[in-house]
């Protein structure tokens, strides 16, 4: 009789496992079937997501995404999970998430209401201010000095709109020039094709720190916006979002996020061993204490 009870229990267990597998939906179903998850990575978003000397993706958000991948592997009880990477740009990152090419976008994307119409976001893991980088020799220190001059930003970002909507920028006639990625935009400033580069202050700081002559540049002007930066995923995928959200919340609660922040923002990082010395902001400390996926618009209230 005992033998039959054991057999019956095994059958029930298998049936329950099969039923659970059948109820998988969205990204988790895709990952279960393929045994792979794809991370969208940026090549020059220091120090959130960028390439090291061996051209491998590293950074603060790459580490967080790897934790999420581990959580997915455990959730699906997979003996092995292949973690693939796909380079994305500011212009194509949302389409590649929407069409299923990328499962997690681990770059430097602002969570705002407009983007929430197309994609979903993990709880915020970084907060930045949008400002501008200039060459010190230019003497530029504020927006009202940009009239008639070329200003660089990256295609697919919101920086120029923020400049035009800012009180000091409304009546300034500057010329917009676009780089295909952040490195390309900074190169325009470096080679004097632009007098300023407008972007998230942490990204600017990273590009300056890794430039040939870091002391030639300064980050100036008012903060055009406070931006919550988060890992991006597909909309209407509650099973996957639950795993993502719970992973980030647990990392916040355990202190892992704070440790990773210190690793990437307050210590020497590859490839040049530069320390960005970029202390955690008060808004980010508050978000780690109480994680949420509120959009940028909520920061303006």
pLDDT tens-place string over residues 168-216: 666 788 888 999 999 999 999 999 999 999 998 989 999 998 899 999 9
CA distance 267 to 278: 9
pLDDT score at 49: 97
pLDDT score at 109: 95
pLDDT score at 301: 61
Contact call for residues 55 and 11 (beta carbons, < 8 A): no
- pTM comes to 0.83
pLDDT score at 144: 86
pLDDT score at 224: 85
CA distance 239 to 243: 7
| pLDDT < 70 regions, the chain | 1-22, 167-170, 301
pLDDT score at 169: 62
Domain with CATH 3.40.190.10 in the chain: 27-125+230-300, 128-227
CATH superfamily assigned to domain 27-125+230-300: Periplasmic binding protein-like II (3.40.190.10)
3-state DSSP assignment of residue 22:
helix
The CATH number for 128-227, chosen from 3.10.150.10, 3.40.190.10, 3.90.1150.10, 3.40.50.880, is 3.40.190.10
CA distance 71 to 230: 18
CA distance 123 to 145: 37
């Amino acid at each position: 009789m005992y033998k039959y009870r054991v057999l019956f229990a095994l059958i029930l267990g298998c049936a329950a496992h099969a039923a659970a597998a059948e109820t998988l939906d969205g990204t988790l179903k895709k990952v279960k079937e393929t045994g792979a998850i794809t991370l969208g990575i940026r090549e020059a978003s220091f120090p959130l997501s960028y390439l090291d000397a061996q051209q491998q993706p590293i950074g603060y958000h790459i580490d967080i995404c790897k934790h999420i991948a581990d959580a997915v592997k455990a959730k699906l009880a997979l003996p092995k999970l292949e973690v693939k990477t796909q380079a994305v740009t500011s212009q194509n990152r949302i389409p590649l998430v929407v069409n299923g090419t990328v499962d997690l976008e681990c770059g430097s994307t602002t969570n705002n209401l407009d983007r929430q119409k197309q994609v979903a976001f993990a709880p915020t893991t970084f907060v930045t201010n949008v400002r501008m980088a200039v060459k010190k020799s230019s003497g530029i220190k504020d927006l009202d000095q940009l009239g008639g001059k070329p200003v660089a930003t990256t295609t697919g970002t919101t920086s120029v709109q923020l400049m035009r909507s800012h009180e000091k920028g409304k009546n300034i006639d500057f010329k917009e020039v676009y780089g295909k990625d952040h490195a390309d935009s900074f190169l325009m400033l470096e080679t004097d094709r632009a007098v300023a580069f407008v972007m998230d202050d942490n990204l600017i700081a990273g590009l300056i720190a890794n430039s040939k002559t870091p002391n030639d540049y300064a980050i100036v002007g008012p903060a055009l916006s406070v931006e919550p930066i988060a890992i991006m995923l597909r909309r209407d995928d509650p099973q996957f979002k639950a795993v993502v959200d719970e992973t980030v919340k647990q990392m916040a609660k355990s202190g892992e996020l704070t440790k990773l922040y210190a690793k990437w923002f307050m210590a020497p990082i590859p490839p040049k061993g530069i320390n960005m010395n970029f202390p955690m902001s008060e808004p980010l400390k508050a978000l780690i204490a109480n994680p949420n996926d509120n959009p940028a618009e909520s920061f303006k209230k």
